């Protein structure tokens, strides 16, 4: 009853209650009439019955008015939120009927709200001069080119490319509109124009490619000259000369590796990083990787341990050269940032719910801070520990590894704590149907 009077006070002057007050006046008149013209106790029974009926109707009507007011307030808030978004935004129902659009979307499409609100968008409108662009935004598979797409996750991100009326690259971010009970009412899509950013990336990538190519040729020639000197083809060397030559070869080898990493990154970002998927033996690839790093690990008495899988892993489809590169990157880092007499452990485990395996590379090294973990797989990033302990490198290894694993349909992540070591894990599909098509 208290809530009833609260709502009554709140909506007392609401125009939606005019009918309520009108019938209330009629009811009072009827009750007065009953008391003067109908015999007792019948007049009392009729009056009580009418009062009870009016009270029930009042409660129902007040609840309806209160719900309508709240819905109207929520609708206004949603309109205000979408309207405040700088990027084009649009909301539509399960039947693809447009519910809300903001001013940025009106400007982007060249259409006003009257032309959009209530319009049901279907794939058949993809060639319509007015709704063609909007149709391709709602059904991105109809766009001229789909560059990237997340798989079965929300918020969903899709990157598409248009060539008309101008060349543009757009990222479409889609979220579900869900109520408190988890029922999906529709979807909200926000459009990010990435054209300028992608052009800048392309310019940077071209610059890196040109510089790397210009560096690789003379450096390769220099490496050949140092090899001739090391083989004493031009005469014997003193002990001091041999040391200087070894230092020079080591520095040149690091520089050539950096150049190769730069070229690999440029090829990945341009989509030219060729993959050759064939049936390969992962255990053999791991063995070859550990054999390669054994001499380096022995210098600090670091043990390289391979826990072979107990579930009978068979060869499966992958790019063996690229997966070997990922393992080399992870093992190389595990050696560089380990401690003397430390360990590096590699494991292969199955995933219970999917046809995937998990490959982990664990070390007993210096670890990574929580702040650095968030940026670890980004391009050119190097953690504070890396900058302190290792001056070489430009922070491309883990970026390369991430791209290679994702191209295989897997994911890579890390768990670490300072002075407690790091555990890098990546997943790979053993079913080739899970490898993304390009």
pLDDT of residue 334: 93
How far is residue 243's CA from residue 282's CA, in Å, rounded to a whole number?
38
- Note whether 409 and 436 are within 8 A (CB): yes
DSSP 322-368: HHHHHHHHHHHHHHHT--TT-EEEEEEEE-SSSSEEEEEEEE-SS--
pLDDT of residue 305: 94
Number of alpha carbons in the 13 Å side-chain half-sphere of residue 86: 2
Q: How many helices (H) and strands (E) does the chain have?
A: 13, 13
pLDDT of residue 270: 61
How far is residue 118's CA from residue 120's CA, in Å, rounded to a whole number?
6
Pairing of strands 343-350, 303-307: parallel
- The secondary structure element, H or E, covering residue 237 is none
- The secondary structure element, H or E, covering residue 256 is helix 239-269
Each residue of 126-180: pLDDT tens digit? 888 888 888 988 888 888 888 777 766 778 888 888 887 778 888 888 888 776 6
Question: 21: pLDDT confidence band, cut at 50, 70 and 90?
Answer: low
pLDDT of residue 286: 95
Is 269 a residue whose pLDDT tops 80?
A: no
DSSP symbol at 106: H
Is 249 a residue whose pLDDT tops 70?
A: yes
- What average pLDDT is seen over the chain? 80
**How much is the average pLDDT of 62-68?**
60
Each residue of 308-350: pLDDT tens digit? 988 889 999 999 999 999 999 999 999 988 999 999 999 999 9
Helix (H, G, I), strand (E, B) or coil at 119: coil
Give this prediction's pTM.
0.55
How far is residue 174's CA from residue 96's CA, in Å, rounded to a whole number?
13
Each residue of 177-204: pLDDT tens digit? 776 677 787 888 888 888 888 777 777 7
Q: Is 272 exposed, middle or buried (0-12, 13-18, 19+ CB in 10 A)?
A: exposed
Q: Nearest 10 degrees: CA dihedral of 320, 323, 327, 330?
A: 160
pLDDT of residue 377: 87
How far is residue 132's CA from residue 113's CA, in Å, rounded to a whole number?
16
What does each C-alpha distance from 317 to 278, 279, 289, 320 come to in angstroms? 5, 4, 19, 9
- Note whether 323 and 408 are within 8 A (CB): yes
pLDDT of residue 215: 75
Helix (H, G, I), strand (E, B) or coil at 27: helix
How far is residue 173's CA from residue 236's CA, in Å, rounded to a whole number?
66
How far is residue 109's CA from residue 355's CA, in Å, rounded to a whole number?
43
- The secondary structure element, H or E, covering residue 73 is helix 42-84
How far is residue 208's CA from residue 113's CA, in Å, rounded to a whole number?
46
Each residue of 350-390: pLDDT tens digit? 988 889 999 999 999 888 888 888 888 887 777 766 666 65
Each residue of 380-423: pLDDT tens digit? 777 766 666 655 566 788 988 998 998 899 999 999 988 889 99
How far is residue 240's CA from residue 130's CA, in Å, rounded to a whole number?
78
Question: 35: pLDDT confidence band, cut at 50, 70 and 90?
Answer: low
Q: Which of 21-25, 66-70, 272-276 reaches the highest mean pLDDT?
A: 272-276
Instruction: Tell me whether the omega of the peptide bond preceding residue 269 falls within 30 degrees of 0, making it cis.
Output: no
pLDDT of residue 113: 85
How far is residue 280's CA from residue 430's CA, in Å, rounded to a whole number?
11
- Note whether 290 and 326 are within 8 A (CB): no
Give the other-Cβ count within 10 Å of 330's Cβ: 27
């Amino acid at each position: 009853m208290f809530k009833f009077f609260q709502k009554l006070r709140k909506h007392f002057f609401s125009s939606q209650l005019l009918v309520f007050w009108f019938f209330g006046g009629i009811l009072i008149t009827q009750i007065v009439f009953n008391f003067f013209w109908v015999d007792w106790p019948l007049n009392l029974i009729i009056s009580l019955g009418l009062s009870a009926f009016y009270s029930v109707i009042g409660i129902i009507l007040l609840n309806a008015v209160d719900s309508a007011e709240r819905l109207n307030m929520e609708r206004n808030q949603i309109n205000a939120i979408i309207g405040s978004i700088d990027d084009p935004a649009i909301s539509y129902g399960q039947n693809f009927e447009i519910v809300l659009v903001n001013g940025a979307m009106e400007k982007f499409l060249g259409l006003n709200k009257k032309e959009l609100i209530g319009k049901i968008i279907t794939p058949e409108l993809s060639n319509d001069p007015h709704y063609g662009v909007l149709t391709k935004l709602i059904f991105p598979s109809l766009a001229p080119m789909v560059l990237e797409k997340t798989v079965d996750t929300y918020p969903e991100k899709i990157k598409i490319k248009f060539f008309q009326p101008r060349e543009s690259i757009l990222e479409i971010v889609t979220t579900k509109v869900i109520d408190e009970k988890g029922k999906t009412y529709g979807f909200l899509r926000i459009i990010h124009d990435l054209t300028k950013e992608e052009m800048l990336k392309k310019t940077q990538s071209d610059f890196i490619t040109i510089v790397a190519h210009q560096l690789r040729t003379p450096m390769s020639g220099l490496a050949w000259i140092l090899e001739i000197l090391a083989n004493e083809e031009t005469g014997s060397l003193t002990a001091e000369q041999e040391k200087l030559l070894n230092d020079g070869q080591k520095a040149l080898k690091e520089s050539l590796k950096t150049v190769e990493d730069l070229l690999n990154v440029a090829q990945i970002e341009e989509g030219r990083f060729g993959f050759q998927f064939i049936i390969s033996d992962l255990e053999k690839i791991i063995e070859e990787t550990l054999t390669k790093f054994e001499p380096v690990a022995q210098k600090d008495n670091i043990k390289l341990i391979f826990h072979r899988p107990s579930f009978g892993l068979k060869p499966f489809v992958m790019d063996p050269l690229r997966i070997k590169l990922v393992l080399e990157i992870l093992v190389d880092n595990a050696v560089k940032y380990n401690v003397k007499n430390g360990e590096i452990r590699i494991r292969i485990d199955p995933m219970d719910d999917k046809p995937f395996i998990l490959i982990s590379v664990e070390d007993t090294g210096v670890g990574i801070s929580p702040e650095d973990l968030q940026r670890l797989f980004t391009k050119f990033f190097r953690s504070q520990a890396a900058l302190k302990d290792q001056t070489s490198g430009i922070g491309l290894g883990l970026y390369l590894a991430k791209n290679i694993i994702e191209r295989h349909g897997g994911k890579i992540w890390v768990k670490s704590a300072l002075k407690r070591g790091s555990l890098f894990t990546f997943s790979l599909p053993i079913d080739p149907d899970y490898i993304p098509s390009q």
